[in-house]
Structure 1
Amino acid sequence: MTDTKGLDKADQEVDSTASAPTELPPSYDITLSQSESQQDQPQATEDFPTLVLDGTKIYSLYAPSRTLYQLSNAPYDATRKIYAIEKLRYRMTNGDAEQKLKHTVDHIYDFRHGISIESYKQITILGQTSRKRTYRNMIMHRCLNGCHTICEGGQVKLTPDYVLKAESPLKDRLNQGKNNTTIWKDEKGEVVAVETKLQRDEKGIIQELPRLAIKARVEEKLYDLLVTSWCAHVWKDAQKDLKEPMSWDKFKRIASTKPSKTQMEGKESKMAPTSRIAFLALSFLLSGHFAVAECDISGNYTIIAAPDDQDGVQSCKDVDGSMSLLFDKNPSSWPSDKATVDLGDISSLTGDLVIYPHHDSKKTVVTASSLRTIEGALTIWNTGTGKDDTIEEFDLVFDALEEVGKDYVITEAFAKLSLEHKTDITVGGMARVYDTDVEELQLNGVYTVNGDFSIDSNSDMKELDVPALTYANKGLIVKGNNALEKVSFAKLKGVKGNMQFNQNGALQTIYLAALESAATMSITANGNDATVLLPWLSSIGNSTTTATSDFSGLGKIEFSSLRTVNGSLTFESNSFEDLTIPLIKEMNGAITVEDNPSLTTFALPRVTYVDELDISSNDKLTNITANALKSAGTIAIKGSFTNVEFFNLKKVTGDFKVSGDESMDCSWFDANIKSIVEGKYTCVGDHDKKERKPSTGGIEDTEGNPKDYMTSPDDEEGNGGSGGGSSGSGNGSGSGSGSGSSDGDKEGSKGGLSTGAKAGIGIGVAIIVVLLIVGAVMFWLWRRRQTAAPGEKRLGSSGSGSTKKGIFDGQRMGVETKIEATNPSPSPSIGTLNFGRHSLIESTGGFTEKSLNAWKTIRRVSVSSGDSSTVKDGTSILKG
């Protein structure tokens, strides 16, 4: 809604330089509570500051290099119809080597034209922070004697109570703008400031900047309002000073303009030229402007406050300025069932588009079929504050919209929102939906957001679908939506800032099917034992990232494709049993695993470097394997471990501290690790020398396939998980039915089985019968073959008494690598080894290279376990 670059609080550092004073000058955020402390501080050369408005900056004459306030645009240029003002708060911090001056930026107020018919007489000042720090809604009124008062909005008194009052002496008002002043008083009538107006020469060139000399101490809240009101007063004066004067030539040019076809359709003007001039002159005196063209827009701010107001804008193409749709200005003028505005042929706006719907209409629809570009902000705001002020239904139909130059914001009480965008939209600022009452939100069309993307504080929202969002070039925030159960970002690929899913108490599943990268991640305080599936996330962080990604309160987390992390990872207070990051190789930061009471397995089978490994307070965790790890900064492991493996570790630049169960082997660390530790070496466990070999079977030498580690969200639902996934559908696991049911299936289920369901059951039964028959025949043939050749043994067996305990699943290599055979045999049965969904090794058929590689891996496992094998390298293990 504003031109500001950063309305959120930003914490910035400014190095102290030789030109800057070593002591911080007195704060100009003057408050009553600060009075005593300020008496003990060095005083400025002036008792009270004199503020100077220089372009978009406000500073004190005492310290012109230090900006105290900043605006979105210079008010005295009068080029905008809405302005934002920010306050800079300074503090000095002590660094290791030198002092540094830091400041935060607060967006405190917006000011713009009032929304009354006589809008030129009023300016609205809107607070942007809490009510404790700013006034929520203030109106600048013009008095009959030429003064201005700043009053609380909503007063119905003939003479409303004011908070501030600006008075100009009569002699100064008659001085034609030369050296005149304005006196600002508080509600008690005491002078708090004196304004010196901007001075221009005959050509309009600025000779002296506007100033505000503070004359009394006031509390911070009133002080900020005073500065904002002063800026609004400067803007109002500039509009009057820069207005082109009416000349005789200009009047004749306007008077000679021909009426439009619409105005004269079916009629002939019988008015004489002289009479017409007189008529236009009278119109000019009464209205101050002319509306003689089909596109009836004058000035750079257009208001539609009643149904008839849209008639003058629908034929416009490119609108130079901002536009407000004020359904709340005169609610009774709109139909109670459906209030509609159609922006017709408008294709672009150079300013903002602000929409204020009203609850008197059951449904509000705003259509703009040709609108492609809004250079400013798009804001949809329910200004009602009562319990009954909720907008029942609001539809925005902007089929052609491609770009919003600044923010796209929807806020306050909406029960139902429909946002129709048929093209991909780029949002130049932030995109935010907050404090609404919607239960289901589908935010269509938003493709790229260059600011933060935030869905927050929507207490009733249960479902969120953002089907088009692909890139969030700052943060992505889903926070404080307590009823949220299902989230979908089907196309989201990249988040360049922090991705947050926080405080969504009902959210059980977060499935980001397309996400490939994020700068940092924070997934905390969502539903109990929530599941997080990130199947294609390959990197977290970038070359400049040092922040920590936090994961807590989770029942399951899956990083199937994660290979690189720049920054730190923290897993704390989770309930999952398994934490495996199978493909990660570079961990340029710390990884902390702490206080996860159910964790039994932690594995980094392919990681080669980690800056810091910190594992503690995981009661059930007994086994850690990271046999690809070659170098580390610091390793600190504490718990009831019985097995810890770092068989390829060659260098530790910091401390190495491992404390496990008394049975945990320390002898191998004493012999192989102690000498490569540059910091402090500690190992608590069994130091009796033992022979040890890796248990991971060489998995660290393989690249790995992400698909082997992926879990479908439908599998989670089949296991009792809550549906929170994305657009992908599929079959449920176990005996449950698939989760991806269509609407038609749902309708059919209400009155019994549908025709399609009955047909499906019939086909399924027929297939099962056929399979049973085929299985019986194959079993009979197999038994017959066994009887015909009783002396021939199956490869890998040790006799007819051999049985299989279970199928070995190669997808778990590096975590579970135990192969068992009930009777001693040369090798496990090849026919029972599964190495992924597409690589089953069978005991019959052709011999493949994949089979050979798998067999070599099995032999490494067998050797590491102390078993022997009679099969030698190069021997054919499968027969055609």
Structure 2
Amino acid sequence: MVHSWRKSAIAALILCRRTVVAQSACAQSTITVTAAGSLEAALTDCATVANGAKTLNHSLRIDHNPYTLGDDDLGYVNLTGIEVILGLVELVIYAIPSDDLDDVVLFDIPPISTIHSSTLRNVTGAIRIGGVIDSSDTAVGSVILDLPKLEFLESLYLEAQLDGLDVRLGPNLTVDDVRVSNTRAVESRLDVGRPGRFLYFNNTTPKPGTAVLSSNMSWAREGVEMTANVGLRDILLTRMEYARLLQVVGNPDLETLEPGVVAVQLVNVTGNGPKTAATFARLQSIGVVEASREPYESSRNAHFGELTALNLPALEETVGPVAGLYFTNNTFLGLQLPSLSSVNGTLTIDENQLLFDIGLPRLESVAASLVVRGNPQLLNFTANVLKRALSVQMRGEFTNVELFSLEDVSGSFDLAGGPSMDCSWFDDHFPGTVVKGRYSCVGNHTHPPKPRRPSTSTPSEEVDPMPTGHARGLSIGAKAGVGVGAAVGALLLIGVGVWAFRRRWGSAERPGGPDAQGKPELDGAGIPGSTLAEESVEADGSELQVGELPTSRLGDATGRSELPVPKRKPVELW
């Protein structure tokens, strides 16, 4: 009886102490947990129901050593049941220097720290994952942040020396800032919904040229910046539709850049690795695309530099005040802009050492200057749909420049090419009429023997609405095949006509006498058809037409078929 009373008293004391501890913890603005048991107790004791949602009115700090083994390990943090956190969530990883790992780690797989919730919808503060790191050689492991129902988050910061990042937030999430820095992740999956600003910088992978960054974010209100990431090989943002700013600069190992943007205000893709290739498969417009937003003060231009390949198949225009296009210091061989019709700024193509082909089949206007210079391999330049430009500055080793539709150059026209480039056409048409300002052309001023003609389409001619490489329309090879097929078909028709012509002659003049027996059917009884075709034979005072023979030339008719042979008109071969 006494022992039973003592047990009850001890249990009550423990419960009272736990209640006091819980009340003390819940009285703090930040709840700090160091083990799975304390986390469960905090969520149970401190959560309340507000507006029908289970709410934690505290910030939550989780201290975790990924190399601690035991049942109470915080490697898996389950926040399911909580719908709203009025504060921030912080995961602090205490990393261990790699020199000490042999004494601690009992497994070869890098540890994984996970935060999961199938119910959390709102975090009014930030989610921050950082680390207490002893040295640059520290092993941290990977982080999984799995919050598929999250709809609102103030910001997300990933700042530890993480080996892997797997972030799966709600597809409709609204988050002001996402910042990822100082990680060494080889695989970074960052599904962050609709961030205001997305920054990925100063990340270093131990093995250069192996890291891949992918994200399903649909748009970024303020912009996307990815700078100074060593080892980053691929950037895949294929579901992104809009970003106010897209800046990819100073990533020395970058090889593939694939943003899915349809519209962007400012683009800067320069200074990356020597193998960088960029594909903007859906980009249609560059410039101010939100009327309610002020444009960037510094620049509204698009810069593409140091690229081995650039694909802009859908780009139609640059819009807004002073929205130019700059292609500089690239190593690609060709620059094709099949859909570009207007540039509301300067179009500059310069210092591209290997560039020898430019395609501008639909370019009609350049609001500022057309600048083409410093491209030593570029010999031919055609823009036969271009009508207006503020000024033209072109210098190079050109052998042919065509601007047959240019109507208005309000500023200067400065063209300098090789000694064989024709200037006579420009001399006859541009000074004082098309060009209102200073006119200069360096090249050959002697008129060619024949008048010059455009080598590409002009506005008066039909332009294929879908450029080469799209699903509709015929490619150049297909058109060539059609031409060859038509020629072969014509030759076959001619051959059939000749065969029919000679067959008719053979039927008409095969004699029935013994001398003609054994003659080939198309022999014509020894009289060449070509001779007969040229003769006008007189018989019984009447002129015979080609294809008819006098009866004196037919011999005995008994050897012929009993069926009458009708008169035939001459066979026309053309």
Shared fold, TM over 0.5: yes
Q: Say whether the 8 Å CA contact 2:140–2:161 is kept in structure 1.
A: yes
Residue of structure 1 aligned with 2:39, choices 294, 304, 310: 310
CA 1:336–1:483: 2 relative to 1, 3 Å:
farther
Identity percentage over the alignment?
23
2:383 corresponds to which residue? 626
Cα offsets for 1:544-585 (capped at 9, x unmatched): 464332222222212111111131222112122211212111
Q: Say whether the 8 Å CA contact 1:530–1:554 is kept in structure 2.
A: yes
Residue of structure 2 aligned with 1:452, choices 160, 182, 198: 198
CA shift for structure 1 position 539: 0.8
Q: C-alpha distance in 2, partners of 1:344/1:486?
A: 34
Residue of structure 2 aligned with 1:695, choices 444, 451, 455: 455
- Residue 416 of structure 1 pairs with residue 164 of structure 2: yes
2:81 corresponds to which residue? 345
Residue of structure 1 aligned with 2:282, choices 505, 524, 536: 536
Q: Say whether the 8 Å CA contact 2:82–2:119 is kept in structure 1.
A: yes
Q: C-alpha distance in 2, partners of 1:298/1:268?
A: 31
Residue of structure 1 aligned with 2:351, choices 572, 595, 598: 595
Q: C-alpha distance in 1, partners of 2:490/2:454?
A: 40
Cα offsets for 1:805-848 (capped at 9, x unmatched): xxxxxxxxxxxxxxxxxxxxxxxxxxxxxxxxxxxxxxxxxxxx
Residue 589 of structure 1 aligns to a residue whose secondary structure is coil
Aligned positions of 1:346-385 closer than 5 A: 346-359=82-95, 362-385=111-134
2:270 corresponds to which residue? 524
1:475 corresponds to which residue? 223
CA shift for structure 1 position 313: 2.8
Q: C-alpha distance in 2, partners of 1:268/1:450?
A: 61
Q: C-alpha distance in 2, partners of 1:483/1:591?
A: 33
CA 1:507–1:283: 2 relative to 1, 3 Å:
closer
Q: Which is worse superposed, 688-697 or 570-579?
A: 688-697
CA shift for structure 1 position 696: 0.8
CA shift for structure 1 position 782: 12
Q: Say whether the 8 Å CA contact 1:537–1:562 is kept in structure 2.
A: yes
CA shift for structure 1 position 680: 1.8
Q: C-alpha distance in 2, partners of 1:355/1:345?
A: 19
1:507 corresponds to which residue? 254
Q: Say whether the 8 Å CA contact 1:452–1:473 is kept in structure 2.
A: no
Cα offsets for 1:203-240 (capped at 9, x unmatched): xxxxxxxxxxxxxxxxxxxxxxxxxxxxxxxxxxxxxx
Q: C-alpha distance in 1, partners of 2:123/2:461?
A: 54
Cα offsets for 1:26-46 (capped at 9, x unmatched): xxxxxxxxxxxxxxxxxxxxx
CA shift for structure 1 position 410: 0.7
1:320 corresponds to which residue? 57
Q: Say whether the 8 Å CA contact 1:627–1:700 is kept in structure 2.
A: no
CA 1:449–1:564: 2 relative to 1, 3 Å:
same
Q: C-alpha distance in 2, partners of 1:443/1:653?
A: 49
2:240 corresponds to which residue? 492
CA shift for structure 1 position 632: 0.9
- Residue 398 of structure 1 pairs with residue 147 of structure 2: yes
Cα offsets for 1:480-506 (capped at 9, x unmatched): 223222332221111112x12223333
CA shift for structure 1 position 449: 0.8
Residue of structure 2 aligned with 1:614, choices 371, 375, 389: 371
CA shift for structure 1 position 270: 8.1
CA 1:788–1:677: 2 relative to 1, 3 Å:
closer
The TM-score with structure 1 as length reference comes to 0.46
Contiguous gaps of at least 5 residues in structure 2: 48-53, 97-104, 106-110, 290-294, 472-488, 501-574
Q: C-alpha distance in 2, partners of 1:463/1:456?
A: 13
Aligned positions of 1:812-831 closer than 5 A: none
Residue 376 of structure 1 aligns to a residue whose secondary structure is strand
Residue 257 of structure 2 aligns to a residue whose secondary structure is strand
- Residue 443 of structure 1 pairs with residue 200 of structure 2: no
1:586 corresponds to which residue? 342
CA 1:323–1:704: 2 relative to 1, 3 Å:
farther
Q: C-alpha distance in 2, partners of 1:542/1:382?
A: 40
1:658 corresponds to which residue? 415
Cα RMSD between the aligned structures?
3.5
Q: C-alpha distance in 1, partners of 2:301/2:198?
A: 19
Q: Say whether the 8 Å CA contact 1:656–1:682 is kept in structure 2.
A: yes
The TM-score with structure 2 as length reference comes to 0.69
CA shift for structure 1 position 692: 1.9
CA shift for structure 1 position 507: 2.5
Contiguous gaps of at least 5 residues in structure 1: 1-265, 712-780, 793-880
Residue 291 of structure 1 aligns to a residue whose secondary structure is helix
Cα offsets for 1:570-619 (capped at 9, x unmatched): 21121222112121111011111111121112232211111111111111
Cα offsets for 1:252-276 (capped at 9, x unmatched): xxxxxxxxxxxxxx999988xxxx9
Residue 429 of structure 1 aligns to a residue whose secondary structure is strand
CA 1:429–1:393: 2 relative to 1, 3 Å:
same
Q: C-alpha distance in 2, partners of 1:475/1:344?
A: 32
Residue 352 of structure 2 aligns to a residue whose secondary structure is coil
Q: C-alpha distance in 2, partners of 1:442/1:666?
A: 56
Give the counterpart letter for 1:354 in structure 2.
E
Q: Say whether the 8 Å CA contact 1:313–1:343 is kept in structure 2.
A: no
Q: Say whether the 8 Å CA contact 1:449–1:473 is kept in structure 2.
A: yes
Cα offsets for 1:360-409 (capped at 9, x unmatched): 683322222221111111111122132453212333232322221x2211
Aligned positions of 1:696-845 closer than 5 A: 696-698=456-458, 705=465, 708-709=468-469, 788-790=496-498
Q: Say whether the 8 Å CA contact 1:560–1:706 is kept in structure 2.
A: no
Residue 309 of structure 1 aligns to a residue whose secondary structure is helix
CA shift for structure 1 position 467: 4.0
